[in-house]
Amino acid sequence: MMAEPVELPSRLAILPFRNKVLLPGAIVRIRCTSPSSVKLVEQELWQREERGLIGVLPVRDSEAAAVGTLLSQGVGGDPGYGGSKSPTTSSGEQQKQDSKNHQEPIHWHNRGVAARALHLSRGVEKPSGRVTYIVVLEGLCRFSVQDLSARGTYHVARISRLDMTKAEMEQAEQDPDIIALSRQFKATAMELISVLEQKQKTVGRTKVLLETVPVHRLADIFVASFEISFEEQLSMLDSVDLKVRLSKATELVDRHLQSILVAEKITQKVEGQLSKSQKEYLLRQQMRAIKEELGDNDDDEDDVAALERKMQSAGMPPNIWKHAQRELRQLRKMQPQQPGYSSSRVYLELLADLPWQKVSEERELDLRAAKESLDSDHYGLTKVKQRIIEYLAVRKLKPDARGPVLCFVGPPGVGKTSLASSIASALGRKFIRISLGGVKDEADIRGHRRTYIGSMPGRLIDGLKRVGVCNPVMLLDEIDKTGSDVRGDPASALLEVLDPEQNKSFNDHYLNVPFDLSKVIFVATANRVQPIPPPLLDRMEVIELPGYTPEEKLKISTKHLIPRVLDQHGLSTEFLKIPEGMVKLIIQRYTREAGVRNLERNLASLARAAAVRVAEQERFSPAIQLSKGIQPMAASTTALLDTRLAGAGSGSSPSNGEVEMEVIPMDVSGQEISNFDGGSPIVVDETMLEKVLGPPRYDDNEAAERVATPGVSVGLVWTNFGGEVQFVEATTMVGKGELHLTGQLGDVIKESAQIALTWVRARASELEISSTSDKSLLESRDIHIHFPAGAVPKDGPSAGVTLVTSLVSLFSKKKVRADTAMTGEMTLRGLVLPVGGIKDKVLAAHRYGIKRVILPERNLKDLAEVPSNILSGLEILLVKRIEDVLEHAFEGGCPLRKHSKL
Ligand code: ADP
């Protein structure tokens, strides 16, 4: 209703409005039946994702035309648009001649109103199968037509905006003439409202309008709400000048007021003379009008018939159509209150909604454009993008190629989802994401049989219903998180989905008829490869996205995240600046992740904080207020602002509380105001960071503090979230020589702990670990090893070397080096074996500010994947045996060395 000023495009598709005018702020419901307007609605409104704008242009029947020079064959009187109904129309009244058969002259008015669709519904007429639309349009702003040309069956106009912009409007409102006219208009309108109020008591909202809507819009809205002649409507439309419009509107409102008053008098006289049946008739008429207004005027066709029509247009394959009809026949026999009625109905609705044939038309694939769009959406990831382009190229050459399913593997927030959606947009297909995380039940994939109460289709069918086409790009998200248990094996259902031989007739238990999934392009994501069942993995091609270095994150922020976040919050760099240094701080102190998801979230928090401030500032405009507390004046503040501040500061000290800025009159210096706003962006600094994001979550000294006591060592592990630094703590107490392990450990890691302890024990006597050196020391003591972050399950062999280091540190009472982290599996005899995830682990070490990394020698080849700028900041120590590890892990070398013969 109270639409903000809109941006008008330079061209608009034109919907002719016969002998009627849509005014800005008014809402009309139009039934489109002619081929050209149906086409227009289809192309400009229905098929668009975002509802577009169209132009509504009054047309005048020649008959109604004042100067009747042209022959007319149209018959006026259609309440909505009736330009050219086809002669096959069954509705008898208001038949129009088909404009194609008879060259009907159209008198286009040269001014119209841009409108946006608030609601669209599509219907198919029964015997003919003809499509019609009902559109509810809201008028937005006036335009004038520069020229009108045909696009296919409908018209498109080059237009220019007539109504003033918001700024112009605000300026105009200062004009004394306009102030006077507005006052007069409002007074008349108020009078009308109070008369209406006595009659029906439902005008409360209109009253609110009067107080909140700017008067220039009010004029249109009021006039649009009563019946006036076409000529008067046109002249209202032509009243571009605000003064003219206001006085015209006042006149019309006043006339309407008078006519109500007169009618009132008459009805009072007539009342009491009406017979009962007459009253009933009147009430029925009113009811009809109300129903029509609400859009459910199809008295003659009940609910089920509407459903049937929907089913007819769903394009079901013949055998399924038969099945559906059988089901429908049963439904017809049931009473709506009967059990089973609604479930049967819901089922049929699903059948009608499923995209049996509906496809998004695949456009000719332009590989260069695809590459450009991948590049513009994603920083780095060169190899991954290359692979995607290859994948697309294969599709281009052989569209039905049964290639493998791409599976993006990596920690959260590295861009897996957004890459998949880029694939969809490169192919011009719709995109739908199906989350498989935590799916344990086969029914989640395949649905429940309808015999169950509350049964539902599986996630795939549900997704297809939502996306509405049968050839989307479907992302199977977190395919590694599906597990199997007693309730069946979701993985085997997925296998069927991904198998091109079988997915032609995918069987959802709820749907109970086969659905063809072969047109869907599947893409999958996973955090790790390992948990994916091998048969499933076999169908997929794994593309790894290991995570970003801080430098990459910085680039991603400046190139992608910040612009996007600003845009999402309606800001620009004019309002908010996040300097690189601050982004670096967010990366270091607030996020320690492989991806950029939390980074994006934190940037969004800053943008929200800034948006609130900008909105406040706008609200106080023209008396602009700057609250100094939140917005510290940065060095970049313009000279203009400085002088203003100095002026304002003379009264109160600028360092405390709010500084009231002087009022800058809008009309004289509108230019200056925008300069002023643009010149004082909020610049994020450390104070703002802490205020918005809270105290830093991570600090660089963490490692040093943690290893301050002997018995703690620093390991590198691989988790679902990418590489992590993992501390291992060992302690000892009087006991029976038992080993206690805590921290949610898997079997493999427990075994590693046993091996580590055995290795240390085997050397304890020989190497004289403790000064008292008796074996009983180890035998009469329990050892407790803990992996902090107890809530996170841990497993894998790569903590072997870390465990030994921690034990040696414990027994030798020497601290390990805080700047050194390690990973590696160890054999009983002390050989260090290579482990996986080296790149992620090294990146994690770098994120934590670790300087030295101990790695198994045989992992040397994996270092090739680590960006060289990261490597150059790290000392990589390659080891073959555990003794080498110990040598590197302690200040001054292995603490045991002086006793040993190593
Ligand atoms: P995932 O699916 O891997 O968990 P998303 O695709 O949801 O991650 O990515 C999280 C956010 O980070 C998205 O907004 C995405 O656009 C952004 N992003 C991730 N990687 C990049 C990149 N290389 N360049 C630009 N933006 C990225």
pLDDT in tens, 369-396: 888 888 888 998 888 999 999 988 888 8
Could you tell me the strand order of the sheet in which 405-409 lies? 431-435, 473-477, 521-526, 405-409, 540-544
Q: Is 414 annotated as a binding residue?
A: yes
Tracing tokens 């026949």 back to the chain, one arrives at: 329
Q: How many other C-beta atoms can be found within 10 angstroms of the C-beta atom of residue 486?
A: 7
At 291 the pLDDT is 65
Ligand 1 atom with the smallest distance to the CA of 418 is 6
The stretches of 447-487 forming alpha helices (DSSP H) are 459-467
Q: Is 722 in the pocket of ligand 1 (CB under 6 A)?
A: no
Smallest CA separation from ligand 1 atom 17, residue:
415
Q: Which of 418, 425, 557 to mutate to test the pocket of ligand 1 (most atoms within 8 A of CB)?
A: 418
What parts of the chain have a pLDDT lower than 70?
1-5, 51, 62-105, 199-206, 266-281, 284-285, 288-302, 401, 484-488, 616-679, 700-703, 720, 765-778, 790-791, 896-902
Find the catalytic residue in 85, 186, 839, 841. Answer: 841
Ligand 1 atom nearest the C-alpha of 564 is 14
Closest to 815 (Cα-Cα) out of 745, 762, 891: 891
CA separation for the pair 631, 644 (Å, rounded): 16
Residue 462 has phi, psi (to 5 degrees) of -60, -40
The pLDDT of residue 280 is 67
Pairwise CA distance, residues 35 & 43, whole Å: 12
Whether 455 is in the pocket of ligand 1, judged by its Cβ within 6 Å, is no
Is the CB of 82 inside a 6 Å radius of any atom of ligand 1?
Answer: no
Whether 775 contacts 764, CB under 8 Å: yes
Number of residues that make up the chain: 902
Q: What is the pLDDT of residue 292?
A: 65
Q: Counting beta carbons within 10 angstroms of the beta carbon of residue 191, is it exposed (0 to 12), middle (13 to 18) or buried (19 or more)?
A: middle
What 8-state DSSP symbol labels residue 22?
P
The per-residue pLDDT for 639 is: 30
CB distance 523 to ligand 1 below 6 Å: no
589 CA distance to ligand 1 centroid (A)?
20
Please say whether the beta carbons of 543 and 409 come within 8 A: yes
Catalytic residue flag (residue 841): yes
Query: What is the per-residue DSSP string for 703-771?
Result: HHHHTTSTTEEEEEEEETTEEEEEEEEEEEEESSS-EEEESSB-HHHHHHHHHHHHHHHHHHHHHT-SS
Q: Is 156 annotated as a binding residue?
A: no
The residue to mutate among 596, 598, 720, having the most atoms of ligand 1 within 8 angstroms of its beta carbon, is 596
Residue 596 in contact with ligand 1 by CB distance below 6 A: yes
Separation CA 395–CA 455 (nearest Å): 37
Tokens representing 464 are: 């297809």
CA distance 515 to 133: 29
Angle between helices 215-224 and 176-200 (to 10 degrees): 40
Place of tokens 């997915």: 503
The C-alpha atoms of residue 876 and residue 846 are separated, in whole angstroms, by 12
**Quick one: pLDDT at residue 276?**
62
Identify which of 382, 384, 414 to mutate to test ligand 1's pocket (most ligand atoms within 8 A of the CB). Answer: 414
Compute the distance between CA of residue 290 and CA of residue 275 in angstroms, rounded to an integer: 23
798: CA distance to ligand 1 center in Å? 29
Q: Is the CB of 385 within 6 Å of ligand 1? A: no
Q: At what angle do helices 341-353 and 303-312 cross, to 10 degrees?
A: 30
Does pTM surpass 0.85?
no
- Please, where are the H alpha helices in 295-340? 303-312, 318-333
Measured in Å, residue 417 CA sits from the centre of ligand 1 at: 7
Q: Is the CB of 459 under 6 A from ligand 1?
A: no
Paired sense of beta strands 722-734 and 825-826, if any: unpaired
Name the token pair of 473.
């790009």
Answer yes or no: is the C-beta of 597 below 6 A from any ligand 1 atom: yes
Cα(590) to ligand 1 centroid in Å equals: 18
* Active-site annotation holder among 798, 806, 809, 812: 798
Please report the pLDDT score of residue 467 as a whole number.
Answer: 92
Instruction: Assess whether the C-beta atom of 416 lies below 6 angstroms from ligand 1.
Output: yes
What the block records as the tokens of 160 is: 């220019």
Ligand 1: atom nearest CA of 410 is 3
Does ligand 1 come within 6 angstroms of the Cβ of 381? yes
The minimum-distance atom of ligand 1 relative to the CA of 412 is 4
Nearest to 825 by CA among 712, 706, 717, 740: 717
Task: Please report the atom of ligand 1 found closest to the CA of residue 377.
Answer: 25
Rounded Cα gap, residues 467 and 360, in angstroms: 10
The verdict on whether residue 410 carries a ligand-binding annotation is yes
600 Cα: distance to centroid of ligand 1 (angstroms): 9
Distance 556 CA to ligand 1 centre (A): 9
Q: Which residues of 373-408 are buried (b: 16+ CB within 10 A; e: fewer)?
A: ebeebbbbbeebbeebbebbeebeeeeeeeeebbbb
Cα separation, 776 vs 369, whole angstroms = 73
| CB 711 less than 6 A from any atom of ligand 1 | no
Write the CA distances from 330 to 200, 333, 344, integer angstroms.
46, 5, 9
Q: Whose CA is nearest to atom 19 of ligand 1?
A: 415
258 lines ligand 1 (CB under 6 A): no
The rounded distance, in Å, linking the Cα atoms of 232 and 225 is 13
Based on its alpha-carbon atoms, the radius of gyration of the chain, rounded to whole angstroms, reads 37
Residue 500 C-alpha to ligand 1 middle, in angstroms? 30
Q: What does the alpha-carbon distance between residue 554 and residue 544 come to, in Å, rounded to a whole number? A: 21
Residue 433 in contact with ligand 1 by CB distance below 6 A: no
pLDDT of residue 600: 93
Cβ-contact 610, 602 below 8 angstroms: no
Given this model, what pLDDT does residue 4 score?
55
**140, containing H or E segment:** strand 131-151
Query: How far apart are alpha carbons 878 and 261 in whole angstroms?
Result: 97
Report the alpha-carbon distance of residue 825 to residue 806 in Å, rounded.
14
Atom 20 (ligand 1) nearest CA: 415
* The two three-digit tokens of residue 319, written as one number: 């055998």
Q: Contact, 237 vs 23, CB < 8 A?
A: yes
Q: Burial level of 67, CB count in 10 A (0-12/13-18/19+)?
A: exposed
Contact 740, 782 (CB under 8 A): yes
How far, in Å, CA of 852 to CA of 314, rounded? 64
CA distance 355 to 520: 12
Pocket test for ligand 1, best of 597, 598, 599, 840 (most atoms within 8 A of CB): 597
With beta carbons less than 8 A apart as the criterion, state whether 803 and 811 touch.
no
Check if 414 has its Cβ closer than 6 Å to any atom of ligand 1.
yes
What is the number of the ligand 1 atom nearest to the C-alpha of 419?
A: 6
**C-beta of 847 in contact with ligand 1 (< 6 A):** no
DSSP state of 587: I
Q: Give the whole-angstrom CA distance, residue 672 versus residue 674.
A: 5
From the alpha carbon of 420, which atom of ligand 1 is closest? 6
Q: Are 331 and 352 spatial neighbours (Cβ–Cβ below 8 Å)?
A: no
Asked if residues 538 and 495 have their Cβ atoms less than 8 Å apart, the reply is no
Q: How is residue 151 written in tokens? A: 């696009």
Query: Rounded to whole angstroms, how far apart are CA atoms 892 and 812?
Result: 13
Decide: residue 76, CB within 10 A, 0-12 exposed, 13-18 middle, 19+ buried.
middle
Q: Is 415 annotated among the ligand-binding residues?
A: yes
434 Cβ contact list (under 8 Å, min separation 6):
459, 460, 463, 474, 475, 476, 477
User: Is 72 a residue of the active site?
Assistant: no
Ligand 1 pocket member 14 (CB < 6 A):
no
**351, 324 contact by CB (below 8 A):** yes
Distance (angstroms) between ligand 1 centre and the Cα of 389 equals 18
Ligand 1 contact via 553 beta carbon (within 6 Å): no
- Ligand 1 centroid distance, CA of 545 (Å): 11
Q: Whose CA is nearest to atom 15 of ligand 1?
A: 415
Centre of ligand 1 to C-alpha 441, Å, is 29
Ligand 1 geometric centre to CA of 114 (Å): 37
* 165 annotated ligand binder: no
Cβ-contact 139, 56 below 8 angstroms: yes
Q: Which ligand 1 atom sits nearest the alpha carbon of residue 411?
A: 3
Q: Whose CA is nearest to atom 9 of ligand 1?
A: 415
Pocket of ligand 1 contains residue 413 by CB under 6 Å: yes
What are the DSSP calls for 844-887, one per residue?
HHHHTT--EEEEEGGGGGGGGGS-HHHHTTSEEEEESBHHHHHH
- Using the mean position of ligand 1's atoms as its centre, give its distance from the Cα of residue 856 in Å: 32
